[in-house]
Every structure is written in C-alpha cells, then in structure tokens.
Structure 1
Amino acid sequence: MSPPSNPPPPARRGALSNPDGRYEPVRHEVEDDGWGTLAPRDDGDPDGWGPLPAPETRVEVDASRSVISRNTSPDVPFDRSLNLYRGCEHGCAYCYARPTHAYLGLSPGLDFETRLFMKPDAAALLDAELRKPGYRPAPLAIGTNTDPYQPVERRFGLMRHVLEVLSAFHHPVTITTKSAMVERDADILADMAARDLAAVALSVTTLDRDLARRLEPRASPPAARVRAVRTLAAAGVPVSVMVAPVIPGLTDPEIERILEAAAEAGARQADYIVVRLPGEVEGLFRDWLEAHAPGRARRVMSRIGAVRGGQASSARFHERMTGTGAEAALLSRRFAVAARRLGLTKRRYDLDCTRFAPPPRPGDQLRLL
C-alpha cells in the first residue's frame, strides 16, 4: 500500500499541502521516506493515513520602511491601507491573499499560514508618515489583505499601538476582521467612534460552527464574531457585517440568516463579496473541497465558474467583488432584499477627516496662539 498523493492536512490548518510558489525553479512532491512519515492510521482503516505533523507558526521581521499602501482601484472605498502582517494564521482555505507569499519565495499553501512576517515598528513608522508635511488624511483601511487580529496578535499587540497613534492624530480608520479579538480594543475604538473616527466590519462566512472550523480553522467561531458585533455596537462603535466570501453551493444558503444575526446583534450596515480563487488558490481550494466536501466539490466549482465567466477568478474592475451573470444577479438580489427588510444599508460610514492634527512630540516647542 502506497501513501496518498495528497496526504491529510496537518491539524488545525486550512491548506492540505505546501505547493511551491509559481516563481520557484523547482517542484517538490510529497512521498513517504521509508520511516513511516506517512504511517497508516491505527484506527482499523486499512486505507487511512495519518496526518503530517502540524507545522508550528514562525514569525519573522518585515523590514519595510513604510506601512501605508496606496491603491487606485474603483472596487474599494479607500485609497490607502495598512497591513501589520504578511501571511495569516487564520488559514482560510479560500483566501485571495495566499498568492502574495510567492513573492517572498514561499508557498501560498501551508507557508502562508505558518511563515508569517510582522512589522514591529508599525506604530512608529505610521507616526512618521502621518507627520510628513504633504500628508492629507483619508480613512485608513486595516485588514484588507491579512487580518490584523490573527492569533499571533495576542503575542505582539501591534494593532493596539497602531490604534493609539491614529487616535492621537485624530485620524479615521476602518477595520475588517474575522476575529473576536477586536473586542480587546473596544475601549479605544469607542473613544475614536465618539469622534467619528472609527468603524469596524466583522466578516462572517457561515454560521455553521463545524464548517467554519474546517474552512477557517484558526479564525474565531461564528458565534464569537456575532458576539463581537454586539460588544462593539453596545460600546457605540459603528459596526457592519461582511457576508464574505459568499461561496456558491456551499455557503450562499446562509446569506439571509447571517444578515438576520448581524441585525439582531446591532449591526447597521452590511455588504457581501463573492469568492474568487486567483492563482494557486484555485488548486488549494479544489483540494480542500475534495477532502471536506467531496460530494459537493464539482457542483461548488461549477457554480463559482457561473459567476466568474467560466473561470475560478476574475481580476476585472467592477466585477471582482460580485461576479457576473444570472447566478451573480440572483445573489445580489437576495442580499438586497434581505438587507432592506432588516434595515441594513450598504452605504459606508462617514468618518471625519477634519479633526486630523499631529500631536506634539516630546521636546517640540508649543505653538503660540
């Protein structure tokens, strides 16, 4: 008996494999080394093979000398963003950010979840960028690529320091996260929200705890995310829910239920994004489907193709987020009807940019009136 070509995934990780990045000159294949690395499971299943050892998370320093990224995309309501980490320990099987790890010479698979890079000087770098004479304020989006509240944030606390800088500068911020850890910063977010400087979006893919555990293995459980909506709303923080991503054939039946839970918890705004599987993500997600939803794998990929012009992804502006075709139109209609019934608007929160003012640094001469 030979080991499977695609062995079971390591425990609590989203990707089932660690394929080489598209820029690497060599390709590697998993094969038993003769020492029982892929040993049969001792559970009476003659065709079963044990999981690979779970890789530990390694965190290295990202030596970037700036933290604000700019964009001109017409698909997103912001022109600047900040990401504290490269890679994301949440391990979401569908994550569109996975291919970015190939630029680092790493795999979009398990490496993306376990080989992380952090920006320890993010708060100081942000302070310096906001003090530049030509800087003009606009809402800063955090969490657009990788999650600022992923598990390693408990160890490093970078997000808290960044929020302290933004608060001191009276600079508006929007946060998107799948983590209930955002509750940790409810105090500072409430203070900023009282000055119309902060808004938070919780991303909810499914309310099914078991599906979420397999699909987003290290993100907060759905109930904890809904609880975070309630906590922030009670603190006066404008909260929205992103039904994201909607995966046709897998999670789309839950659109209405997610919106109902969000409205009941105190969300005032909602939006959605249809799944897209760029680059290596398509293969990784196909493997995930075959392992976790084999009976639905072909149908799910067919329905994703129906909203992506026969492909698994689309990079075209004005359709990347919602897709095209009859299937996409039906999803849009369902979302709009449910959101209107529940009083959830798609209009973005208006944040105040007029309060922006760099605080004096230690040793600065006070300005005379």
Structure 2
Amino acid sequence: MERRLAPELSGRGAQSGAVPTRFGLATREVDGDWRDYMESLDGPPVKLRTTVTEERPKTILSFNQSPDIGFDRSINAYRGCEHGCVYCYARPTHAYHDLSPGLDFETRLFAKPNAAELLRATLAKPKYTPRPIAMGTNTDPYQPIEDRYRITRSVLEVCLETRHPVTITTKSDRLLADLDLLVPLAEQHLVAVAISVTTLDPKLSGKLEPRATSPVKRLTALQKLAAAGVPVHCNVAPVIPAITDEFMEGIIEQAAAAGVASCGWIALRLPHEIAPLFREWLSVHFPDRGDKVMNIVRSIRDGKDNDPNFFSRMKPTGVWADLFRTRFRLACKRAGVGRPRFELDCTQFRPPNIGGQLQLL
C-alpha cells in the first residue's frame, strides 16, 4: 500500500523517514502493532517524541586524513541531532545503524556520557601528540540535549585542565553557558569558535532548521563571544541557491557589527539520502521553485546532486559558484572582515593524571 505524506510535518526538518538502502538493509517489517498500521495509511504522527539512548564507546577521538578539511581529529559527543536541519550532511551516518537519515536522525539520538573519561585516557597515552580537536564536525555539540548531559562541557573541562587546543562549530547560543571555560581557554590560545548562520529570516530558519537557535540569538552569541575575547568566526553555511543566498551580504554585515573578524561560506551539499530528503522538503515548503533550486545545485556540482570526491567536493564550480564567491568577497571587503587565522597553541599540552598517579616528566 502506498504511504501518503502529510502536507507538512511541523517542528521537524525532514518530512519523512527515508529508509537506508546503501548497505543492503531490508525495509523494516510491520510488526502488527496498530500504530504501524495507521502509519502505513497516514504517514508518521505529526508530533514525534525525541528519545535518547546512552552508549559507551571504547574510543572517543575520530581521526581522518581528508585533504578537504583543516583538522585531523574530532569528538562527537552525540549521534543524531535534534536541531533537525534538513540539509545536514551528517544525516547519512544514521544509516550505518539501520536508522533513517530522515526523522530518525532528529528524533532517535545517542549520547556518550563517558566522553571526557575516554578523552582523558587517550591524552594520557605516552605517544599521544596534541593537535586541535574539532567539535561540531558531525552533529552539534550544543544541541538541546546538551542542557541535560553536559558532555561537551565535560570535554572542555578536560581540554582546559590539560591545556589542549579545541575548536567548536555550532548553531546554538547554549555555548554561552560555558563562557567560564571558553574565556580561560581563549586567554591561553586554546580555543576558536565558529557559529553558522544560514538566514536572517526566522520563519525560513524555522523551516530549514526547526529546533536550532534563532538567527538573532546566534548573532548575539557571536557578539558576546567576541566581547569576551573568544576568537570567533561566522560561517554563512550552507548557501542554498534561490533560498538563502539572498541573505549572504546581510549576515556578513551583521557579523562584522558583532565584532567578528572573519567569515566563510559553504555551498549546499547533498550526499546520499540528503538529496531525496531535500527534494521532499522543497516540495512541501517551496513547490514553486524546487526545480530551479535543484538545477542550480546540479550546475555547481558538475551536473550531479552531489560531488563526493576529495579535493573537489568543497569547491563548487560554474557560473553560479563564481557569482557566490564574488558576492562573498565583496561583502567581506565592505564589512572589513577577512579569512580565519586562528593559531592555536599545542605547546602547552600536559598529559592528565590517571588514577591519581602523578606524571614523572
């Protein structure tokens, strides 16, 4: 029986639960429960509850050798993200666990309460060599459940104790609650923060990223961080053609007024299951321009929905990409902001004490 989708799933970015198929996983079978039967007729319920599962991994640092990003290690305190950004490139990671990159990604979350403990053990290893740890590279470290779990804060406490450099990327102003850690980290050149601002329109933000902090609060957070002496950067990201690109100049202007010294931009990427989810979102919220948006997206990705290749995946090409670059460059010049130049200090690192034993050297 064909599943019918409601006109709009209020309060969520994804409009359905896309079933992962990349790993040969079978579609989940209906177990006979009456709820399953009703969903097969009417789609998922309009109001979905968020659940959090605690997991205890054996390691917490993830290492990479990607030539396209400026860090080689990261920490993800959570899996899934309640912010529900429909464009989030991390959504496909839920497919590894036989969960939907759609609604499951933003409603079935996982937390790692032992992250700080694992980090401490890793940093204590004799052969460990410090380099900046990136937080917020996959899911937001300050999504709503951070208020409850405080995992990001516990990681920052370890970084401050060991004088280990760390970077943070977020869409939330919740990090202001950790200014007591961020300020001393900044004073020792151990932290840099990036806040992503997609649009200045709160209604559009509510559709694109329904549970993320409002644009005005993000800009206020940028201002407060800058005033406190924390190195801060504004990401105009992602730039969605014919949806959010009109706000590029305004975001840069307001970020500069907030005291931000640098800005950057990233074009929309649609890897794996995100492409059909985004098309579905367009059909619900912008049916009048969906084709136009996707045509421009394909024009900057060599005729495809997405370019997954190293070296080129972060570098859109074509007339539209050149236009965005020119607009961004001119807006930064007018506002007096430049490129990020955060030099974090790795020389102050001191391994933590484990089990009460003091370091000999």
Length-normalised TM-score, structure 1: 0.91
Aligned mate of 1:352, from 345, 350, 353: 345
- Contact 1:143–1:177 (CA<8 Å) still a contact in 2? yes
Q: Tell me the amino acid that sits aligned with residue 26 of structure 1.
A: T
CA distance in 2, matches of 1:36, 1:105: 21
Partner of 2:122: 129
What's the counterpart of residue 230 of structure 2? Answer: 237
Find 1:99's aligned residue among 89, 92, 98.
Answer: 92
> 1:259, CA displacement in angstroms?
0.5
Cross-structure match for 1:110? 103
* CA distance in structure 1 between the partners assigned to 2:312 and 2:141 by the alignment: 26
Q: 2:78 aligns with which of 85, 96, 110?
A: 85
1:26 aligns with 2:19: no
Secondary structure at the counterpart of residue 111 of structure 1: helix
Amino acid corresponding to residue 315 of structure 1 in structure 2? P
Distance 1:323 1:27, change over 3 A: farther
Supply the AA of the counterpart residue of 2:26: P
Counterpart AA for 2:215: P
Q: Pick closer, same or farther for the CA change 1:361–1:28 going to 2, 3 Å.
A: closer
Query: Contact conserved, 2:78 with 2:110, CA < 8 A, in 1?
Result: yes
Q: Secondary structure at the match of 1:60?
A: strand
Contact 1:226 1:262 in 2 (8 A): yes
- Please name the residue that 2:278 is paired with: 285
Q: What is the alpha-carbon root mean square deviation over aligned residues?
A: 2.3
Does structure 2 retain, via aligned residues, the 8 Å contact 1:9–1:15?
A: no
- Residue 208 of structure 2 corresponds to which residue in structure 1? 215
Mark the runs of 5 or more structure 1 residues left unpaired by the alignment.
39-48
| Partner Cα distance (1:34, 1:138) in 2 | 49
* Counterpart in the other structure of 2:300: 307
Aligned AA (1:93):
V
CA deviation map 1:94-148 (0-9, x unaligned): 1111111010010111000011111110000000001111111111100001000
Q: Determine if contact 1:8/1:52 at 8 Å carries over to the other structure.
A: no
Question: Given the superposition, is the C-alpha separation of residues 251 and 53 from structure 1 closer, same or farther in structure 2, using an over 3 Å criterion?
Answer: closer
Cα distance change, pair 365–144 in 1 and its aligned pair in 2 (3 A): closer
CA contact 1:94–1:277 (8 Å) conserved in 2: yes
1:5 equivalent in structure 2: 4
Q: Which letter does structure 1 place at the counterpart of 2:102?
A: G
TM-score, normalization by structure 2: 0.93
Deviations 1:282-319 (A, max 9, x none): 11110101101111111111111111111111112233
CA drift of 1:360 comes to 3.5
| 1:289 partner SS | helix
Cα 1:278/1:50, change in 2 over 3 Å: closer
SS of aligned partner of 1:116: strand
| Contact 2:200–2:247 (Cα < 8 Å) also in 1 | yes
2:186 aligned with 1:224, yes or no? no
Equivalent position amino acid for 2:284 in 1: A
Hey, what's the Cα distance between the residues in 1 that align with 2:287 and 2:93? 28
- Is 1:16 aligned to 2:9, yes or no? no
Shift of 1:5: 2.4
The code of the aligned residue for 2:258 comes to: A
Distance 1:108 1:175 in 2: 24
Unaligned 5+ runs, structure 2: none
Report percent identity of matched pairs: 49
d(CA) in 1 for partners of 2:96, 2:2: 31
Query: Distance between the aligned counterparts of 1:128 and 1:167, measured in 2?
Result: 15
Q: What is the CA–CA distance in structure 2 between the aligned matches of 1:297 and 1:60, rounded to whole Å?
A: 36
Kept in 2, the 8 Å contact 1:168–1:358? The answer is no
* SS of alignment partner, residue 312 of structure 2: coil
Asked if 2 retains the 8 angstrom alpha-carbon contact of 1:19 and 1:28, the reply is: no
SS at match of 2:282: helix
Pairwise CA distance, 1:52: 2.3
User: Quick check: 1:9–1:51 contact (8 Å CA) kept in 2?
Assistant: no
Mapped pair 1:295 → 2:288? yes
- CA distance 1:35–1:116, change in 2 (3 Å): closer
1:336 offset after TM fit, Å?
A: 1.5
Deviation at 1:361, TM superposition (A): 4.6
Per the alignment, in what secondary structure is the counterpart of residue 244 of structure 1? strand
Q: Give the alignment partner of residue 193 of structure 2, picking from 200, 223, 227.
A: 200
Change (3 A) 1:343 1:57: same
Q: What is the CA-CA distance between 1:260 and the residue it aligns to? A: 0.6
